Amino acid sequence: MTNGSANLGGPYSERRTDPRYTFIATAEIIEPVSDTHISGRVSEISRKGCYVDLLNTLPKDTPIRVHITTDRGSFESEGLIIYVQDRMGVGVAFTPSQEQQAILDAWLAELGGG
């Protein structure tokens, strides 16, 4: 388990205000306009977003819903793809409800984030 902010580089690492943690979970990205569902794997998570490993990426600035499932439960949020690594994955910014933010905060507390 990673402690503190794992700076793995990338285009947004210098702009992060919340630490990112190694976090393995299944993810489903839903693009609501076309109802496209893409399965992936979360590899990093923070209070404001996550990185999802995906072979089939969606374009930057695509509004989405993200559903993350672990043995600790599930989290769902509206979101936005903020960067893309073609055929590798996407960075997702969350805009969760208060209830969903509480779930995420509990996960982060378990990871040492609060």
Write the DSSP assignment of 18-72 as a string of letters: S--EEEEEEEEEEETTTTEEEEEEEEEE-SSEEEEE-SS---TT-EEEEEEEETT
The model's pTM is: 0.83
Question: What domains are defined for the chain?
Answer: 19-110 (2.40.10.220)
- Looking at residue 15, its pLDDT comes to 60
- Looking at residue 16, its pLDDT comes to 56
pLDDT in tens, the chain (114 residues): 333 444 444 444 456 578 899 999 999 999 999 999 999 999 999 999 999 999 999 999 999 999 999 998 999 999 999 999 999 999 999 999 999 999 999 999 999 855
